[in-house]
Structure 1
């Protein structure tokens, strides 16, 4: 259970515009945090994304909660050695921020550059950790400046990360309030079960006050399942205790494959007395 002296955290959701329509009353009644996931695809960003942004503004009329988007990530490494690849990634980051500005999103999720291979091998090479951070800056510095200008925060989500501290160090290296940390509970649980990483609550503890965003999904420790909370083996009481102890109101967004049935996962966490 969470600390009974504190109000329970309010759950939000990561949805497409289509599934937002199914959960609109639930989101709007409490002005729950919302993350739109329509704008992370290359074909959208290279196409008529402005029409989709117009549709988002229409769908969000009357919404006053905290709005974010999942930024572009497919085949977009944040710390590539090749400067031409970095240029492509930087352009996609700029396009994601164009979307944020167009719809009033104050947060954009981007993916950690750290891999399982990195965990075992970075320290085989002198200054490899520092060089990875340097390459990430070469990729992201323009996006960080733009994010500051438009009032959007970039949050770095764990993917393969086995060391929960590495991307916290990366976020801090920008020395900017607009670069913070994201946690995906299912990714962390996969890393714990399959690669020997710490349990999910230790990822929360490692991020501490820098944790600004959480993707809530259940898994079995074997793969990235994106199951509804309650369908896997994530230790939810420990996760929510850690959030209450170490963090300051991160956005708690249920991100699952079954977006239609998302409320069942929310009801599971509510039934455990962990959230509203």
Structure 2
């Protein structure tokens, strides 16, 4: 595909970001000193009951204040992904409860002035004979939740997923968001086994609003540091630049030091 030079962005201008949860030992101040500018806050709720209790919300409020004090951008939140909180469940009563719970978290995020929220289209495993029903349920959930998020000033993004999960190809992602024009896409390059990340990025060109960056072995997700696996990072950076991506380069790497993430990104840029 030829790039549109009027749209193309420069990866050297992108901010460097990381996924961050309450379990992580790195403080916002330390991440700022290391050279990170933005984070995605993981809302790691386990079930419906926990979402509607006040205890964990207070911990998140403290974390958001720490980010503000450190002058770190809260780029996005990652909505919870468990079997109980699966937006593709086909039981209408259960799915309604899940939608209401995710809506509650979107409302919380809106109070922090977050502009992006990432959601998993499903949990797993998903059997072949139930896939179509799950796609239909997920599509309706994404339509409703993305519309609600937009009304709160948030862009919801459905994340591509691995294995038997929904959205494990660009083709299926397009089906899921076909009736949800306000829904964006989060490209997790470590989840794509049936096509290259660059191909996925170019296919979903107009819908990608945020990214998750890590490496893997080509077989299953690993969340390794870029350069430790099989992903062609020149292709990834080139594809993102070509589609005009201008969000942060957001790492989702297991057990990574903030300084190592900054060094890794600088190394990737030097190789392009």
TM-score range, shorter chain: 0.7 to 0.9
> How many residues in Structure 1 have an aligned counterpart in Structure 2?
257
Alignment partner of 2:201 out of 177, 198, 204: 204
Q: Give distance in 2, aligned partners of 1:239 and 1:113.
A: 25
Partner of 1:229: 226
The alignment's TM-score, normalised by the length of structure 1, stands at: 0.79
Normalised by the size of structure 2, how large is the TM-score? 0.80
Offset, 1:5: 8.2
- The alpha carbon displacement at 1:140 in A equals 4.0
For 1:35 and 1:83, locate their aligned partners in 2 and report how far apart those are by CA, in whole Å: 30
Aligned twin of 2:57:
50
Residues of 1 paired with 2:190 and 2:74: CA distance?
23
Q: Which residue of 2 aligns with 1:37?
A: 42
* Structure 2 counterparts to residues 87-98 of structure 1, below 5 A: 87-98=96-107
CA contact (8 A) 1:218 1:232 kept: yes
Structure 2 runs not aligned, ≥5 long: none
Cross-structure match for 1:145: 147
* Runs of 4+ deviating beyond 6 Å: 28-31, 114-118, 120-123
Cα distance, 1:209 vs structure 2: 2.5
Alignment partner, residue 79 of structure 1: 88
Alpha-carbon separation, structure 2, partners of 1:252 and 1:219 = 17
Tell me which residue corresponds to 2:186: 182
What's 1:164 paired with? 170
Change beyond 3 A, Cα 1:115–1:241? farther
CA–CA distance in 2 between the matches of 1:144 and 1:208? 18
Residue 104 of structure 1 is matched in structure 2 by: 113
**Deviation per CA, 1:146-198, whole angstroms, max 9, x where unpaired?**
3122111110001134421321342242122xx1001111111xxx2xxxx11
CA RMSD across the alignment: 3.2
Gap change, CA 1:249 and 1:168, over 3 Å in 2: farther
Q: Distance between the aligned counterparts of 2:157 and 2:204, measured in 1? A: 11
Aligned 8 A contact 2:32 2:72 in 1? no
Asked if residue 173 in structure 1 is aligned to residue 169 in structure 2, the reply is no
Q: 2:212 aligns with which of 215, 225, 234?
A: 215
